[in-house]
Amino acid sequence: MTREQALTILKQYTKNENLIRHALAVEAVMKKMAEHFGKTDDIEKWTLAGLLHDMDWELTKNEPTRHGALAAEILAKEGFDQEIIRAVKVHNHMLGLPLETLMEKALFCVEELTGLITACALVNPEKLSGVKIESVMKKFKQPSFAKGVNREIIAQSQGLIGLSLEELIGLSLEAMIKIKDQLGL
C-alpha cells in the first residue's frame, strides 16, 4: 500500500479536516520515531500506522470500544500489512490489548501528545514555531488545558519506548514543525 492509497482511504472515512490534520501530525511524528529508533527499513509501516490510526474515529466516536477494531477490519479488507493493522488497533487503550512492538508503543504515546502540542500551538501567537519543549511541559502539568488529552498515556513513554517526556516532546515538535503549513499551524 502506498501513502497515496492510504491517504485516499483515510479521506474516504474521515471528513473532518482537523482529524485529517491530526493524522498528518501523527504520521510525521511516527516517521521521526522510526528514524530515531533506527527503523529505517520500516519507516513506511510506521508512517502508515500513524496516518491511519484514527481513520474510523468518525464512525466509532459514540462507541469508543469499537475504535481501532473497526479500522483494523477495514484495513485488513484493503490488504494492509498485519503490523500496521495491529498498531492501529491496539493504539486505543480502551480495548485493553497489550502493546507488543516498538511501533505499537510509539504510536500509543505520540498519538495523544500531538493533540497536546497542537493545543499549545493554537494558543501561541507564533503558532507551532513558537512552541517550545518547556511550554508543552508546563501545559502538560495543567489538566484543565486540552482536557481531552490523556496525559497518563503520554507519561508512559519512558517505560514503553525509553524516551523521557522531554525527549518525546522534542522529537514530536521537530517532526510537526516540518509540516506546520499542512497542519495549519
For the residues of the chain, what is the DSSP string, one character each? Answer: --HHHHHHHHHHH---HHHHHHHHHHHHHHHHHHHHTT-GGGHHHHHHHHHHTTTTHHHHTTSTTTTTHHHHHHHHHHT--HHHHHHHHHT-GGG-PPP-SHHHHHHHHHHHHHHHHHHHHHTSTTGGGG--HHHHHHHHT-TTTTTTS-HHHHTTHHHHHS--HHHHHHHHHHHHHHTHHHHT-
pLDDT for the residue 155: 96
pLDDT surpassing 90 at residue 33: yes
Percent of the residues in the chain that have a pLDDT greater than 70, as a whole number: 100
The average pLDDT across 71-86 equals 97
Q: Following DSSP, what letter does each residue of 5-45 receive, concatenated?
A: HHHHHHHHH---HHHHHHHHHHHHHHHHHHHHTT-GGGHHH
Residue 180 pLDDT class (50, 70, 90 cuts): very high
- Report the number of distinct structural domains present in the chain: 1
pLDDT surpassing 90 at residue 1: no
For 48-64, write each residue's pLDDT tens digit: 999 999 999 999 999 99
The average pLDDT across 1-11 equals 95
The CATH number for 12's domain is 1.10.3210
Residues in Cβ contact with 173 at an 8 Å cutoff, skipping those fewer than 6 apart: 117, 128, 131, 132, 133, 136
Is the pTM higher than 0.75?
yes
The Cβ of residue 69 has, within 10 Å, a number of other Cβ atoms equal to 18
For 123-157, write each residue's pLDDT tens digit: 999 999 999 999 999 999 999 999 999 999 999 99
Q: Which domain holds residue 129?
A: 3-183
The average pLDDT across 112-133 equals 97
Mean pLDDT of the chain: 97
The average pLDDT across 57-75 equals 96
